[in-house]
Each structure stands twice: as C-alpha cells, then as structure tokens.
Structure 1
Amino acid sequence: MDDKLLDKKATFQALDLDDRLLRALGRMKLVHPTLVQAKAIPLALAGKDVLARAKTGSGKTAAFCLPILHKILATKDALPINSEERKKTRALILVPTRELAEQVTKYIADLVKFCGKEITAVNIANNSPLHIQAPLLAECPDIVVSTPAKILKHLVSKSIVLSLTLETLVIDEADLVLSFGYEDDIKGIVSHLPKIHQSMLLSATLNKGVESLKRLILSKPAILKLEDDKEESSKLVQYVVRCTEEDKFLLIYVILKLRLIAGKCILFVNDIDRSYRLKLFLEQFSIKACVLNSELPLNSRYHIVEEFNRGVYDYIIATDESDKMGEGDAKADADTDDEEMEVVEETAAPEEPVASAAKDDAKKEQAKGKKESKKRKRSQDKEYGVSRGIDFKGVAAVINFDFPLSARAYTHRVGRTARAGRRGMSLSLVAKEDIKTQSSGHQKEEEIFGRVAAQQRKNGSEIQPYKFDMNQVEGFRYRSNDAMRLVTKSTIREARIKEIKNEILNSEKLKAHFEDRPKDLQFLRHDKALHPSQVKPHMKHIPQYLVPKIAGIAQADGIATTPNVGFVPFNKKKGDGKRRKPSRKPQKGSDPLKSLGKKRRK
C-alpha cells in the first residue's frame, strides 16, 4: 500500500478493534489504516449509515469488513455459549460479480484467522443450485456474501429469513451493481429486511443511480468523499497507436516478444472468440498467456487471478463484456454526473479484415456462428466481471487490444494498473476509421477514442501517441501473417471447447483441494498451449538480424524498457563452441601398449 493512501496519524489499534482482529492485521503487516478506513470504521462502529466514495485500491473492503466482524464478536462475547442468539445471520454483503464475492470471502477468512470458529462466512454467489446452498444457509452463518440476484432467490424461497436478524447491509461497488441491472433485485431484497438496520454503500463514483440507491436504503448517512490526488493520475502514462487490424497482431507480437513492456500485463478484448484468436496467435511464438472469460468455471477464474497476483503468469487475455451488460448504454450515460465519463451508444459494426484463410472460413461459418452464439450466451456467466472490482496486483501495463465500447469502460480498464500509488502504463490499439472490425465493438473505435481522449483532457490527462518507425518492425510481418493464417474460425472453436473441458477438470480439482491440499494447486496451469502441434520451432526465437533498434515504451518514471533478445541458434550444439587442442593425457581405462601399437601400424 502506498504511503499517500495511509493515514500515518492513526493506527488500527487506536480504532478500538477487537484484539483478535488486530492480531490478524498484524499478521497481514497492516499497521496504519488508509484514509477511507480511518474515516469509515469509527462511523460504522458508532452505528451510523455510511456512503463512501473512494477510488479502487484505497482499502474499501477492510472499511466495511472490520466493523462488521468487530460488532459480531462483541455481540457473541456478551452472550452465553449455549445461547441460541449466537446462531444468527447478522450481516449481508452484496457485490456485483462472483469474482469479487470470492475475493471478499477470502479477505474475511484472513481477518478471522485468530477467531477460532466464532465467525462463519458463506459465499453463495457461485453457480451451485439453490437446493445445495439451502443447507448452508440453514446453519445461520454470521455473514452472507452474494450477488443481489442470488440472495433474492433464497429470500423468496425462504431458504434464509433476515427480517428479524440482520443488523448490517453492505453494497460494495454500488455504481457497478446498478450498471449490471440489479436495481430491481435490490428493491426486492430491502423488502425482506428489518426496518431498522445499518447500511453501508461504497463506490468509486457517485452518480444519479447511486443517489437513488442512497435514498432507498440509507437513513441520514455520513457521506465520505475522498478526493483523488492529482499527483496520483500522473503515475499512469497513457499511449495510443492507430493502426490497421492486421497491424494490431503484428504490434502485439513485437511488443511482447521483444519485451518492450516490462512486467505483468492484462490484454483486454471485447468478446470471447477474440480472446482465443489472440491466445492461439501468441502460441505460435511460444508466448504463454491465460484466457479469462465468462465461460470458464468460477473456481478456475478465481485461481487464475490468484496465480497472476503471485507472479506465476505474466499475461492475461481478459474478455471485458461489461458494456454488453448495460454499462455502456445510453441510459447509463444519462444517469452519470460530472465525475463520470461520457458513454457511447452502441451501433452495429461490420466484420474486420483478417488473414485470407480466416476470411474464407468466416464466410463458411457465418450462418453456423449465429446459431452457436445464442447457445454461448446461455452458458456465459452473467455475473462475471473483470475490469472492475477484482484485485489484480502488480499490473505494470494494460493493453487495450480491442478498444472499449465506452469511455467509462476505458476508465475501468486502465484503472487495473497504477493502483495504490504504484506506477503503470496503458497502451490502446485503435483501428483506423476506414478499417472495418469483426470484434463486438458495434462501433468504430476511432470515434469512441475521440470521446475518450476529450474526456481525459478534461480530467487533466493526455493519451500520448506512441511514436516509432513502423519500418523497423516490417521484418516481422511475414511471421505475423503466417501465424494469423493458422488461426481460423474452426481452430478457435476447437480451442474454445478444449479450454472449457480442461478448466472444468481443473475446477473439480480446485474444489477438492482448496482447503485440504492447497500446495497441489501449484501444479495446475492455465496457460498451456491449446494447439501445440501447430507451433513451428523456428517461430520461437528471433534471429539477430530481425531485432529492430526500437525504443521500449517509457513507463511513468521516464525509464524505457529495452529489448533484451539475443541470437539463439536453432540447432545448438553441446559445449561452449571453443576449439581446443587434443589432450595428450591418456583416458581412464585405456591401455597404453594397445594405443602404441595402433600408432605403429599407421
């Protein structure tokens, strides 16, 4: 955590939290609260409703988890051990996505490390059927973490009754909850809650939608608006490259293979097929990357994020479908205030040009693809979200391989880097206006980029053009085109099916090992090649004559990363290649008389 986000004048110990929670915080090496924690925790402990606006990475999760846990522990300490009052669900935490639900549940588990079995928290946001989750809720866990839609189903079916027991309601990422279309679900949930209870709303932005939610669930709230430090925005350097669709693949190959960007990267695309196209393309050059999308099982998605945070993977290709869920539509734009980005209406976009083989397959598969797309929509997880809320750690760069469909989505994507006081950069590849795209953008990228750039200038930021000589990378074009020809519609479909099967198996292993044998999880890989037979050996390495004298992309500290790729011979012989004089010493086990006889015969 960056020092600028911490309140050095305060300590967690001074907040009068339970000793068991303080021990857990010490184990997590947390001494000073962040600004939002220092302000929100005392208000929550005093029983007041709280509306807090703070940017991503500022510690909002601990700001509501710690007061909830402290109050539950205090209540149970005051009750006899055999009291039935101890077994009640006292807190409900609502989040917009299943990934965020997993993250919050894990954070609670870390905080109650020294509480024994005093506190139980259950996450019901996963895709388990209601009848399987019902017994868990019948045990009356102290805390329930869920998405609004899932908990409402249980409330309607009477699997859980909160009208007499609930003490605290939390809605995290409130603006995102509304943009995902949960407003009616929230209204339904409130009707099943007691009239008197404490509520907390936490959000990165306060728009008109959050204002209506505030009137619905908050009573005389304390409002915290923690202003963003202008110096923080300078730690994010934003670049853009206007190029053709074919050049997008060429540039991403050169950037990643020559390591022009150092560190971990998230590559955003706009649909699932696009993510597999990019993964299969990078596989041709032995560049490993994980795919993260709504079709993968929840356990696998969460494990991918965890392993990425641990540094196991360098690249994640993330499908950002937030705009399709309503985040980028005109209605959401109308509800935003001056803090929000302008949102673009969606219009249909024609197909983008790809390599010749892909074009031929596209015509043949077009009719079949429409039928399959309907089936895919059914299998996708509506409560998936990756551009907001998820705690990606140590992200050095965000690459918008497909430009987002709205300015708000752009803000959320680039917000994955330069977090918590760290430096970062973003690079957006924008298709030129006269280039048609086959991605699910439904609108010309150039037009949307114009809106984004204008909004960034209004906020005091600038998206700089990444200047380089395109002629310096022309030598890589034949390799890029060869790789693109191998990535057809049929290979994408096969890879998609194979990946889902693999991840279903991984998900079952994860389910069995999460608690019992956590060390075994280290052997699960999510970046395996989907078509290893198609990878050509000569594509793995870059000959020295192809390495261009191109500058690395400068990070926020002004230091440019430079390519560190040397010549690697394809058929490397053993030894260091130095010529040596033959040794005169006899080898072990050789007979000197026999060797002398051989010389005389010569």
Structure 2
Amino acid sequence: MPQSDSLFASLGLMPALCTRLAQLQYVQPTPVQTQIIPAALAGKDVLAGANTGSGKTAAFVLPLLQRLYQAKHSTQAVKSPAKGNYVACLILVPTRELAQQVAASCESYGQDLAPKLKVTCVQGGVSVNSQMLALRGGSDVIVATPGRLLDLINSNAIKLDRVKSLVLDEADRLLSLGFADELGALLKLLPKQKQTLLFSATFPEELNELTARLLHQPHSVQLQSEQQSTLVQRVFTVNKREKAQVLSHLLKAKNWSQVLIFANAKKTCDRLAQKLEKAGIKAQVFHSDKGQGARNRILTGFKIGEIDVLIATDIAARGIDIDKLPVVINYELPRSPADYMHRIGRSGRAGAAGLALSLISHDEYQHFKLIEKKNKLRLPREQYAGFEADAEAPEDCPSRLAKPEIPAPGMGKKKRKKAVSKATDTVASAVSSNQEPLQAAQALVEDAWANWKKK
C-alpha cells in the first residue's frame, strides 16, 4: 500500500507538509482534498460544495500554507518583505468556535515549517486589546469572524489591501447569520487581484449572486453527497409531552459514549438539562449566553470525553469538530432545512460510523417533510417501544388549526387582503395556545404553495 506522505505528495504538497500529515495519521486524501489541493496550489479560484466532515479544512489550509511559505522564502531571497500590519491570507468563518478550529488546524498543519508562519485567530468573546497586540507586525494568516475583524480594521490594527488569498468557509452560514453587510464591507477593502476559495454546504440565491461577482473562472467541486453512507439517519415519531422522557430513556438504554443534542432555544437547552438531571443524567449546555471561556471549557471537556451529553443550539452545528462523534440527536428540528444537514454532519465524519436521530412530534411532521424535500431525503418513520406517538394530533396542535384560503397570485387585492388577515389570526391563535408561532407560520406557507400549485 502506498505511504500516506507519497499519496499527498502526488497532489503537489511539499515534504514538510506531507511529513506532518503522516504524523497526524492521515492515510489518504479525501475526495474533496484530491480535487481541490492541486487547483489551489496552482492559484486558481475554487468554488466547492461539500458536506461537513469531508476534509475541506485541510483541502484549503494545506495549499495556502504552502503558497504562503514559498512566496515568503522567494521574497526573502530577493529583498526583505514589507513590514506593517498587513495580512497575506484571510479566512472568514461564521462562528467563534469554527474560527478557533480552523486556526488550530493552520497551526497544526504548519508545525514543521521553519520559520513558522504566523497565524492569528480574530473573534468576539475575548479581549480586543489582546488581539490588537497579536496583530502587531501583521500576520501571515488571519482566521476571523466578520464583526470582530471590522472592529480591528476600524481601530487600524490590521489592513487588508495586501491580501493574496481569501477563503470564505461556510459561506451560506455567513449570510444566514446576518453577516451580509459586514461581508460586503470587508470585500470592498480587499484587492481585486487575489485568489478566492469559497466553501458552502448549500447555495441559496444570494450566495450564487456573490460567487458570480467574487470568483473568476473558478475550479468547481460538488461533493455534497460524499460520506453519507457512513451516517445512519433515523426518525422517531413521539408525543411532544413525552419527548424528554424518550430522550432520557434512550440515553440510559443505549449508553452512548458521547451524544450531541440540538434544541432551538437557549431556554429549551437549560430546561432540558434540568429534566435530564432529575432523571439521573448529567448534561452540559452550550449556547450564546455562555461566556467564551466557558464555551471553550465545555467544548474541550466534550471533545476529550469528560462530558458525555452536550445540549446545544445551532451555534454548535458548525463549530464542533470531534473525530468519531457517535450520536447526534435533534430534540427539536432546526428551523432551516439546510441546518438539518449541518447538525447531523457532526457525526459520521471522514468515513467514521455515526447516527443522527430526530425526535419529531405531531406539530413537526410537516416541517420534517419540508426538510426531506429540500435535502432530497426520504426517511422511514419509526415508533420507539413504550413511547409510541398517538395516532391523532392533539386538538391544539398547529397542524389541526383551521387554515385560511390562500388565493392564487393573480387574484384580486381584496381577497388577498382577507386571506392575509385570516393567516394572521391563525398564527395569533397558535401563540395564544402556547404553540410555536414559527411552526404555525411554516404550515401556512406550505399550504399556500400547495394551493397555488393546484390552481
């Protein structure tokens, strides 16, 4: 069998990087690495659609480190490099945890380069003064979240006009989290001539518009379907009032070593942790109310196995990178169908076996159908013995609320106004019945599309 270092060397990577990959026990390149590394080394723009866990971080970090190292040595051989608060490579990511993860990967992969490249992580939640000190004299690589990077630019701590390479990692998430304005402001500060690599799991219309403006004849890679065979997806239909009982029963019966549980709200995470504790199960919560130091400690504890059960909001969907995480559970379905794939992508990474389990109640049936449709899935519904879902939805379930007539687009304004009013009343009714207004609204939207198609 060929040595791992020779397999990576065949992609064009330099010996120091190949040796380091062998030390990290990288046996062979993943499909995304095989397709992207040679193109990135050649200086081409890259547009890649790939699942989490496909090895995409190494696919862009390795060639960028090599190009930076070679350019730096070439420059030093001719003349001293320009000094100042400049950056050569900028990597933009949507969350603090992902920024830390990518920065750590840059440090790890470049460990054997001499002299080492300077890597700086720029994120919120920590002292801005310490980051300003770290940026003195510039940096070879900056891994940043957009908001904090703009703060540092406005404080004259860093300049972007000499950036040679730009990476947008999890680009769809950058837009969905509301960073569109910050991203636009940053792009205006970058030089026109640069290499750009864009990675995304999904490609909404606004992202397609961005890629058309930003990328020049990119090398395109579409690998969203890779690695899915190692991840088993299961769906249990349960009564909403029994969800916590089902979850605690599963955790005790299966005795999983590590479980990541997703909920939609911070309060839900806290309440669920309390319920599990009463059942004798110790769990930690991970959401934006936690300080950055606490979040770091919780993630570290979960990664090294000190914490068995972690309950998180979607802030963790792209920020947790754990080898061989066995189980991910959707206690609540994500509001965005795209986030479903990001959640379950925490398990079954890089070919490892994994399980993604969703607990869905009557009020989530329709939304899960939408998730399946958007992600081209069809999963059988199962019942969990002893906790079978009732055949009929509860009377106050949004799916049983009266749905107003949704007129076709070409109908008159009066009828449309009346329908909108009825739709508003339906959502208000859901709120007054302690139901999720967003779920009620989602059901209305689905009905609207169905009626429009019929007419």
TM (norm. structure 2) is: 0.78
Unaligned runs of 5+ in 1: 1-5, 321-384, 433-443, 472-602
1:7–1:34 Cα contact (<8 Å) kept: no
Equivalents in 2 of 1:128, 1:234: separation in Å? 37
Superposed, 1:499-510 pairs within 5 Å as none
- TM-superposed deviation, 1:130: 3.9
- TM-superposed deviation, 1:48: 1.0
Task: For residues 539-592 of structure 1, give each alpha carbon's deviation from its aligned partner in whole angstroms, at most 9, with x where no partner exists.
Answer: xxxxxxxxxxxxxxxxxxxxxxxxxxxxxxxxxxxxxxxxxxxxxxxxxxxxxx
1:28 lines up with 2:24 in the alignment: yes
Report the equivalent of 1:68. 64
- TM-superposed deviation, 1:260: 2.9
Report the equivalent of 2:401. none
Equivalents in 1 of 2:260, 2:106: separation in Å? 27
What amino acid is aligned across from residue 426 of structure 1 in structure 2? A
Equivalents in 2 of 1:427, 1:32: separation in Å? 30
Task: For residues 230-262 of structure 1, give each alpha carbon's deviation from its aligned partner in whole angstroms, at most 9, with x where no partner exists.
Answer: x834742312222132x12222222222x2363
Superposed, 1:64-463 pairs within 5 Å as 64-80=60-76, 83-85=80-82, 88-163=86-161, 165-226=162-223, 228-229=225-226, 232-233=228-229, 235-245=231-241, 247-257=242-252, 259-260=253-254, 262-320=256-314, 385-432=315-362, 444-453=363-372, 455=374, 459-463=376-380
Equivalents in 2 of 1:86, 1:31: separation in Å? 39
Task: For residues 422-444 of structure 1, give each alpha carbon's deviation from its aligned partner in whole angstroms, at most 9, with x where no partner exists.
Answer: 33333333333xxxxxxxxxxx4
- TM-superposed deviation, 1:129: 4.6
Structure with higher Rg: it is 1
Equivalents in 1 of 2:244, 2:384: separation in Å? 18
- TM-superposed deviation, 1:284: 2.3
2:261–2:329 Cα contact (<8 Å) kept: yes
Change (3 A) 1:447 1:85: same
What amino acid is aligned across from residue 118 of structure 2 in structure 1? T
1:44 lines up with 2:40 in the alignment: yes
Higher deviation after alignment, 21-30 or 400-409: 400-409
What amino acid is aligned across from residue 264 of structure 1 in structure 2? Q
Query: What SS does the aligned partner of 1:78 have?
Result: helix
What amino acid is aligned across from residue 273 of structure 1 in structure 2? K
Query: What SS does the aligned partner of 2:94 have?
Result: coil
Query: What SS does the aligned partner of 2:10 have?
Result: helix
- TM-superposed deviation, 1:268: 1.3
Task: For residues 33-72 of structure 1, give each alpha carbon's deviation from its aligned partner in whole angstroms, at most 9, with x where no partner exists.
Answer: 1111111111111111111111111111111111111112
What amino acid is aligned across from residue 48 of structure 2 in structure 1? A
Equivalents in 1 of 2:355, 2:294: separation in Å? 27
What amino acid is aligned across from residue 187 of structure 2 in structure 1? V
2:231–2:356 Cα contact (<8 Å) kept: no
What amino acid is aligned across from residue 146 of structure 1 in structure 2? A
Equivalents in 1 of 2:370, 2:304: separation in Å? 36
Equivalents in 2 of 1:409, 1:97: separation in Å? 14
Equivalents in 1 of 2:154, 2:201: separation in Å? 31
Equivalents in 2 of 1:40, 1:101: separation in Å? 21
What amino acid is aligned across from residue 110 of structure 2 in structure 1? V
2:51–2:345 Cα contact (<8 Å) kept: no
Task: For residues 488-542 of structure 1, give each alpha carbon's deviation from its aligned partner in whole angstroms, at most 9, with x where no partner exists.
Answer: xxxxxxxxxxxxxxxxxxxxxxxxxxxxxxxxxxxxxxxxxxxxxxxxxxxxxxx
Equivalents in 2 of 1:291, 1:10: separation in Å? 43
Equivalents in 2 of 1:277, 1:12: separation in Å? 48
Identical residues among aligned pairs (%): 33
Equivalents in 1 of 2:258, 2:348: separation in Å? 12
Equivalents in 2 of 1:461, 1:389: separation in Å? 27
2:230–2:348 Cα contact (<8 Å) kept: no
1:7–1:35 Cα contact (<8 Å) kept: no
- TM-superposed deviation, 1:107: 0.7
Change (3 A) 1:128 1:460: closer
Equivalents in 2 of 1:7, 1:316: separation in Å? 38
- TM-superposed deviation, 1:297: 2.1
Equivalents in 2 of 1:223, 1:449: separation in Å? 31
Equivalents in 2 of 1:295, 1:237: separation in Å? 30
Change (3 A) 1:218 1:7: farther
Query: What SS does the aligned partner of 1:398 have?
Result: strand
- TM-superposed deviation, 1:389: 4.8
Query: What SS does the aligned partner of 1:85 have?
Result: coil
Query: What SS does the aligned partner of 1:138 have?
Result: coil
2:101–2:319 Cα contact (<8 Å) kept: no
Query: What SS does the aligned partner of 1:288 have?
Result: coil
1:79–1:86 Cα contact (<8 Å) kept: no
TM (norm. structure 1) is: 0.60
Q: CA RMSD in A?
A: 2.8
- TM-superposed deviation, 1:273: 1.7
Equivalents in 2 of 1:272, 1:285: separation in Å? 20
1:10–1:38 Cα contact (<8 Å) kept: no
Aligned pair count reads 386
Task: For residues 367-420 of structure 1, give each alpha carbon's deviation from its aligned partner in whole angstroms, at most 9, with x where no partner exists.
Answer: xxxxxxxxxxxxxxxxxx211353133222222222332333333222222332
Query: What SS does the aligned partner of 1:212 have?
Result: helix
Unaligned runs of 5+ in 2: 389-455
